[in-house]
Amino acid sequence: MIARVWRGLTPESKGQEYFDYLVRTGIKEYRSIQGNRGVYVLRRTHEGRTEYLFISLWDSVDAVRKFAGPDIEKAVYYPEDEEFLLELEPNVIHYDVLMQPE
């Protein structure tokens, strides 16, 4: 299994609105793709900013490609992301999942 990790940062005032947007866009798309095993969404607010950490789980690199396209290291963004995010990180990180909850 592969974990795809992405980080996004919004102003605190837009934190909940951005999460609602993510549910309608990225999370919905993740769940629709064969080979997706789920997604963890972590959030923390600190010093006026809300940070999101997405960890999506995939059966294989081929399953990740169904979502991300041929360059799986490139971050995927949606049309309104620029209205929320303080920066658009160009890349994501992938990890092999060696252990998971039982």
Question: Does 65 map to a domain?
Answer: yes
Residue 73 lies in a domain: yes
Sequential DSSP letters for 26-94: IIHHHHHSTTEEEEEEEEEEETTEEEEEEEEEESSHHHHHHHH-S-TTB----TTHHHH-S---SB-EE
How far is residue 3's CA from residue 44's CA, in Å, rounded to a whole number? 20
Give the CATH number for residue 46. 3.30.70.100
Contact 1, 59 (CB under 8 A): yes
Task: Check if the beta carbon of residue 17 is closer than 8 Å to that of residue 11.
Answer: no
- 56: nearest Cα among 18, 95, 21, 98: 95
87 contacts 10 by C-beta, under 8 angstroms: no
Q: Which domain holds residue 70?
A: 2-96
Say how many domains are in the chain: 1
The amino acid at residue 82 is E
Residue by residue, pLDDT tens for the chain (102 residues) are: 999 999 999 999 999 999 999 999 989 998 999 999 999 999 999 999 999 999 999 999 999 999 999 999 999 999 999 999 999 999 999 999 999 888
Length of the chain: 102
The answer to whether the predicted template modeling score (pTM) of the entire model surpasses 0.85 is: yes
Residue 102 has what pLDDT?
Answer: 82
| Residue 71 covered by a domain | yes
